Amino acid sequence: MSNPSASSVRRISLDEFIALADEMAALVRAGVPLERGLVGAASGFTKRSSQLVAQITQRMQAGETLAQIIATSPEALPPAYAAVLEAGIRSGRISSALEGLASSARRAADLRRMTAASLVYPLLVVLVAYGLFLFSVLRLQPTVENAYRRLNVPTTELNTVLSSLGSTAKYWAPVLPMAIVAGLAIWWRRSGQAMRANGRGALVFLPTNRLRRYGRLAAFADTLALLIEHDAPLASSVVLAADASGDDELSAAARRLASNVNRGDAGASSAAETGLPPMLAWLLSGDMTQANLVEALRRSADSYRARASRLEEQLRLYLPLGLILCLGGASIVIYALTVFLPWYHLLYEIPSHT
């Protein structure tokens, strides 16, 4: 039987990825072999997901493991998926690993929808202000210039610019709405790809980057605790847990720590120099027993999740307001200045020219 190429299937969406991870976790918990259970569940997926499921089941029936399949299918699924599965297999808790992966992807999907909802009203304000600006340069500005001429008041550079904009509006007027629509379409498509569930670039706002960072650190601490609890070596465990988090910066720091551990240098200063967050660097400094380290890592994961929850709540409250102030406010101020400054200058100059 030939193995279908993963590249023949387009990247699945974030929502499809969540559904697939949830279904796999449910099958593992129920003790159903994945190659048989996925065949029965494939009908409930979208066409694109069903194609991917068919490829996975065919390759598993041919003798490949799920982790091998995911690792060799980078075009269809996030690379962190393979690390999560390997960590779950090593610890004997593959269902927990899949659930954690789905939870992380679900948070990214929630952030995506929240950001999209927060953009609606500010963009409406921007478009309304833009329409009023067009009305100003096309209809009001000629009236202003006529008033300047009748009252023998010299025009300003702003009048010249606005008149030029009005005379060339048919060329540039459609650009901003088209750019907004195209930019939103590209962002929505890119942020909805499963490849970006644990990677960079899903959202561009700094607070959401910090929120994703907290989620990745929580996933790292949880996975590392799971591996260490099942007696996996620290050096390999820290690298695998970092890869499973999907954070490139964390993976690089974990590899530096693993190198130090293999050389026998696992002190607090050595861990801190790797670039790990201070709390995790201190925990991994080698001064704790296995049981205490597992407990501390799980408490750290809870702490990071709590930070993420608080930040997410703040984003829900303040992100819409911030976008309205930044986008809508700036648009209204620009429109007001272009409309009222020429009139103000005219009224100011009238006494000296009469």
Of 10, 223, 11, whose CA–CA distance to 103 is shortest? 223
SS3 state of residue 193: strand
Query: CA-CA distance, 116 to 101, in Å (whole number)?
Result: 23
* Tokens standing for residue 120: 């609606």
Q: What are phi and psi of 13, to 5 degrees?
A: -75, 170
SS3 state of residue 2: coil
Q: What are phi and psi of 193, to 5 degrees?
A: -85, 140
CB environment 90-122: b (16+ within 10 A), e (fewer)? bbebbbbbbbbbbbbbbbbbebbebbeebbeeb
Query: What pLDDT does 10 receive?
Result: 55
Query: CA-CA distance, 204 to 319, in Å (whole number)?
Result: 13
Query: What pLDDT does 206 receive?
Result: 45
Query: What pLDDT does 207 receive?
Result: 54
- β-sheet bridge partners, residue 13: 193
Q: What is the CA radius of gyration of the chain?
A: 28
Query: CA-CA distance, 198 to 176, in Å (whole number)?
Result: 32
Query: What pLDDT does 263 receive?
Result: 76
- β-sheet bridge partners, residue 193: 13
Contact of 238 with 284, CB cutoff 8 Å: yes
CA distances from residue 220 to 11, 217, 305, 329 in whole angstroms, order as listed: 25, 5, 11, 40
Query: What pLDDT does 353 receive?
Result: 60
pLDDT along the chain (354 residues), means of 10: 45 75 79 71 71 78 74 65 73 72 75 81 84 86 82 81 86 88 84 54 52 83 84 83 81 85 64 74 77 89 88 81 81 81 79 64
Give me the half-sphere count of Cα atoms (radius 13 Å) on the Cβ side of residue 179: 7
Query: What pLDDT does 200 receive?
Result: 42
Query: CA-CA distance, 62 to 284, in Å (whole number)?
Result: 40
